[in-house]
């Protein structure tokens, strides 16, 4: 199981991919199209051409995890657009996307960051 935590980096590929692609093909897409290191532990999210399925790819230090969610009705409503190859998401946005939610409609409090106190 791929568990997305707040510390993880999540990248969503903007371009749709062939839903038959396996781990090796998706790893090659990460390297060539997204210009990212597939061994980084980042969670990569891909959408099928039909828009009815998403695939998540992640490396955990021992091997790759590949998870897929295919909707029984409809398509994924929200998907990023832009000129880049991928868009970064916060953990809560990725979890909402996996639930087939509309990421553009939900906002959470900004991520908490440690502040160094000068003495």
**Which phi-psi region, left, alpha or beta, contains residue 67 (left: φ > 0; alpha: ψ -120 to 50)?**
beta
Query: Strand locations in the chain, DSSP E?
Result: 10-13, 43-47, 53-59, 64-70, 86-89
- Mean pLDDT, the chain, integer: 88
d(CA 117, CA 9): 27
The predicted model scores a pTM of: 0.85
Q: What is the arithmetic mean of pLDDT over 93-102? A: 84
Contact 95, 3 (CB under 8 A): no
Query: Span 64-77, mean pLDDT?
Result: 92
3-class SS at 25?
helix
Comparison of pLDDT for 79 and 107, the residue scoring more: 79
Cβ neighbours for 42, distance < 8 A, ≥ 6 positions apart: 8, 9, 10, 11, 36, 58
Q: Write out pLDDT tens, residues 24-66.
A: 999 999 999 999 999 999 999 999 999 999 999 999 999 999 9
């Amino acid at each position: 199981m791929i568990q997305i935590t707040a510390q993880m980096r999540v990248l969503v590929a903007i371009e749709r991919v062939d839903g038959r692609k396996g781990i090796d093909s998706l790893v090659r897409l990460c390297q060539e199209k997204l210009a990212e290191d597939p061994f980084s532990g980042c969670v990569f999210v891909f959408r099928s051409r039909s828009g009815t399925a998403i695939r998540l790819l992640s490396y955990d230090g021992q091997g790759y995890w590949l998870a897929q969610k295919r909707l029984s009705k409809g398509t994924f409503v929200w998907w990023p657009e832009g000129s880049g190859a991928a868009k970064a998401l916060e953990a809560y946005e990725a979890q909402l996307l996996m639930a087939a939610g509309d990421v553009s409609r939900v906002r959470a409090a900004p991520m908490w960051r440690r502040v160094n106190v000068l003495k």
